[in-house]
Structure 1
Amino acid sequence: MAPWALLTPGVLVRTGHTVLTWGITLVLFLHDTALRQWEEQGELLLPLTFLLLVLGSLLLYLTVSLMDPGYVNVLPQPQEEAKEEQTAMVPQAIPLRRCRYCMVLSVPTATPAGSAQGGVRRYDHHCPWMENCVGERNHPLFVAYLALQLAVLLWALYLAWSGLRFFQPWGLWLRSSGLLFATFLLLSLFSLVASLLLASHLYLVASNTTTWEFISSHRIAYLRQRPGNPFDRGGAEGL
């Protein structure tokens, strides 16, 4: 096998995320930010806490990215075995259906994901940044990752801002602080995206709706034929 055959999109995306994460962390330590000042003053608790949060967010990212999102078994299964379990989870007014892709009996929220492994149970969306689907098994960890990542991003944003010292001439300032300023802009963009993603997913969790159902309700039979979401049990119950 050629070496470049190992460079799958998943490997490239996860490697890029890891390099970007530690690269930003290194920039915050190398410049005169509050992080470096704490380190020089011997106050190591906050720098160590920040590093642990960065490491935790990275490990959670890799976990969600690599884990099985809940692929439906593509092997033929007796209808009687699936019916007993699934009818207990799905209201009787909502008929069970077969997945068009893998032809197994599935609950209404199991959606084909275009994978050789079959459909994904309670499919939410395909995340290109993780190069993995988000479904029944990894969706709770995905939301937890968004929350932790947002906390890390906001703290890093504060640290980057603490190291910016604006002065003239601008050419000299750009040479000394250009990389830190670019990091600040990048962190601002990532923080905005993470905030919007977390807010939207918390809303969808509260209404017991997946991203796929929210976006494609007009194409989903069990939603198109009903005025509301049949799975909505209220915000408190959903969360």
Structure 2
Amino acid sequence: MFRGVFGTGLLVRAVHTVLTWGVTAMLFLHDTDLYHQENNWIYLQPLIFVLSVMCSVALYFGVSLMDPGYVHSDIDEKSFPTTEDQEMISQTSNTVRMRRCGYCFLKQPMRARHCKSCQRCVRRYDHHCPWIENCVGENNHCLFMLYLTVQLLVLFWAFSLAWSGFQSETSWSGWLRVNIFLLLAFILISIFTMVVCLLLVSQLYLIACNTTTWEFMSHHRIPYLKQCDSDTNPFDRGVVRNLWSFFCTGGTVAWDQIYFRATYNTV
């Protein structure tokens, strides 16, 4: 289930860990609300904050090391449409073919894509995230969303704490000398807050539409989407069902059956 810890993403994960705990240390060492509560023997808020950071780091390593949904062998018969779907397939199979990957030579399930960075085919491929040094796919996409949510909450909290720690001085040079390290931490927190917020909002929109980042960006180049209108998504079953299917159900989905049914119903 998990990839080797000492893979190509070791440096990225090390940088993430160092930045996370480095910024956390800055918030404790400077004159922030955490620092005041710790000095006053009030440990509830500092403890909750540390536990939140630990939870965020644990989710990061989980989504980073987890198998995103690699295609390990040629797809089995269960992923193909059943006998009752043969009439639908006969009307659409002449335009949509199951393709064999040109890199790993495996038959790709519908919505799978070969990732050149991971050198593997990934089911329901969304994108390759360089920050986790792993693909986001069918197996780890939900965990990826949980990680983004927790990370954003921690960043908002850290933003507030960093802001509370700035000390006023009579001169700009004096202020910079006193607050330089906290200012660097504040800039990092602000950047990551904006990035994670934008990523979380965009991912929620795509999930509500039951489409992936790859499908959204390359609609005109994907064989099973080229024949559809640019504003038509054969996998869209409504916002509520899309969200419920993503967050509340698990396992491998036979997307070709959903696709053929949707295509048949629109003929």
**What TM-score comes out, normalization by structure 2 length?**
0.80
Looking at structure 2, the residues matched to 155 and 169 of structure 1 have their Cα atoms a distance apart, in angstroms, of 29
Give the aligned partner of residue 98 of structure 1: 99
Give the aligned partner of residue 23 of structure 1: 22
Percent same amino acid at aligned positions?
Answer: 50
Equivalent runs, 1:99-138 vs 2, <5 Å: 99-101=100-102, 102-114=104-116, 118-138=120-140
In structure 2, which of residues 132, 142, 154 is the aligned counterpart of residue 140 of structure 1? 142
Give the aligned partner of residue 3 of structure 1: none
Distance 1:129 1:42, change over 3 A: same
Give the aligned partner of residue 54 of structure 2: 55
Give the aligned partner of residue 219 of structure 2: 217
Looking at structure 2, the residues matched to 108 and 8 of structure 1 have their Cα atoms a distance apart, in angstroms, of 28
Equivalent runs, 1:140-159 vs 2, <5 Å: 140-159=142-161
Looking at structure 2, the residues matched to 115 and 71 of structure 1 have their Cα atoms a distance apart, in angstroms, of 13
Cα deviation, residue 98, structure 1? 2.2
In structure 1, which of residues 173, 177, 181 is the aligned counterpart of residue 183 of structure 2? 181
Cα deviation, residue 236, structure 1? 1.2
Looking at structure 2, the residues matched to 28 and 226 of structure 1 have their Cα atoms a distance apart, in angstroms, of 52
Is this contact kept in 2: 1:99–1:110, CA < 8 A?
A: no
Gapped regions of structure 2 (runs ≥ 5):
244-267
Partner-residue secondary structure (3-state), 1:97: coil
Gapped regions of structure 1 (runs ≥ 5):
1-5
Looking at structure 2, the residues matched to 55 and 38 of structure 1 have their Cα atoms a distance apart, in angstroms, of 20
Looking at structure 2, the residues matched to 163 and 86 of structure 1 have their Cα atoms a distance apart, in angstroms, of 59
One-letter code aligned to 1:37: H
Structure 1 segments, 4+ long, off by >6 Å, are none
Cα deviation, residue 113, structure 1? 1.0
Distance 1:118 1:186, change over 3 A: closer
Do residues 84 (structure 1) and 78 (structure 2) align? yes
One-letter code aligned to 1:231: F
Distance 1:116 1:169, change over 3 A: closer
Cα deviation, residue 43, structure 1? 1.8
In structure 1, which of residues 165, 168, 171 is the aligned counterpart of residue 167 of structure 2? 165
Looking at structure 2, the residues matched to 224 and 163 of structure 1 have their Cα atoms a distance apart, in angstroms, of 54
Looking at structure 1, the residues matched to 145 and 97 of structure 2 have their Cα atoms a distance apart, in angstroms, of 28
Partner-residue secondary structure (3-state), 2:42: coil
One-letter code aligned to 1:61: Y
Partner-residue secondary structure (3-state), 2:77: helix
**What TM-score comes out, normalization by structure 1 length?**
0.88
Cα deviation, residue 144, structure 1? 0.6
One-letter code aligned to 1:196: L
In structure 1, which of residues 192, 199, 204 is the aligned counterpart of residue 194 of structure 2? 192
Cα deviation, residue 86, structure 1? 3.6
Looking at structure 1, the residues matched to 149 and 15 of structure 2 have their Cα atoms a distance apart, in angstroms, of 21
Cα deviation, residue 8, structure 1? 5.5
What is the aligned residue count? 228
Looking at structure 2, the residues matched to 224 and 231 of structure 1 have their Cα atoms a distance apart, in angstroms, of 14
Higher RCO, 1 or 2 (CA under 8 Å, sep at least 6)?
2
